Amino acid sequence: MPIKQSLWLLALGLFAISLPLRAQTPSRRAEIGVHYSSINLNVFDSTEGGGGIRFSYYLTNYLAVDAEGNIFDPRIGDYPTDDFLAAQGFVGVKAGIRRKRFGTFAKVRPGVANFPVLRVNRRFCSSLLPCETAGGSGNRFALDTGAIFEAYPTSRVVVRFDVGDTMIRYDGDSFFRSPGIVRISDGMSHNLQWGIGVGFRF
């Protein structure tokens, strides 16, 4: 997804946050759900797939705190080139329109992406000091922006579809892959991600 479109989605989400909190609040404010998620990692030319859980808490009918956690299975996707990303976690907001039977929202959620094969390139290295060293936790900053479409077949059940741009920040990184090393340029990478799942209100 181009940077310009991502920025528009970000602006839409931030604008929606300014909606008056006096707006009508739903009778059931909390939602919890499970989902399948898939992400195309552009820098690796790979597709990762896995599952996760999410939680939403509505401040009004139009604005909610939204959190999500995903774990990716290397057996799902473009095997055997789909084992770079292990997990994700995001916490942010979704804002938009919520009707009786459907809802459409924009989302802006900062978080982290975890890469178990991440290595950090040393600025200074030698034969005694390797240029690539363990990257600690393997976490990199990520920002999830995009759109959410929801259907409400009953008052308690939510069917949700997400699509958007997951931006990941790389900084002097290498990724160990047999039979070699994948080196990534510094900067923000844009990656298409989508998910589908079901949730329950309470």
What are the residue boundaries of the structural domains of the chain, listed by start? 3-201
Higher pLDDT, 182 or 131: 182
Note the pLDDT tens digit of each residue in 51-94: 999 999 999 989 999 999 999 987 766 555 567 889 999 999 99
CATH class of 3-201: mainly beta
Q: Which has the closest alpha carbon to 88: 44, 117, 53, 42?
A: 53
Q: Which of 2-6, 49-53, 68-72, 134-138 has the lowest mean pLDDT?
A: 2-6
Q: What is the pTM of this model?
A: 0.80
Q: Provide the β-strand partners of residue 202.
A: none
Angle at 186 between CA 180 and CA 192, to 5 degrees: 85
The span from the CA of 111 to the CA of 88, in Å, is 7
Q: What share of the chain is helix, strand, coil (3-state, %, to 5)?
A: 5, 60, 30
Predicted pLDDT at 145: 97
- Phi-psi label, residue 101: left if phi above 0, alpha if psi -120 to 50, beta otherwise: alpha
Q: What are phi and psi of 6, to 5 degrees?
A: -65, -40
The percentage of the chain sitting over the pLDDT mark of 90, rounded to a whole number, equals 56
3-state class of 63 per DSSP? strand
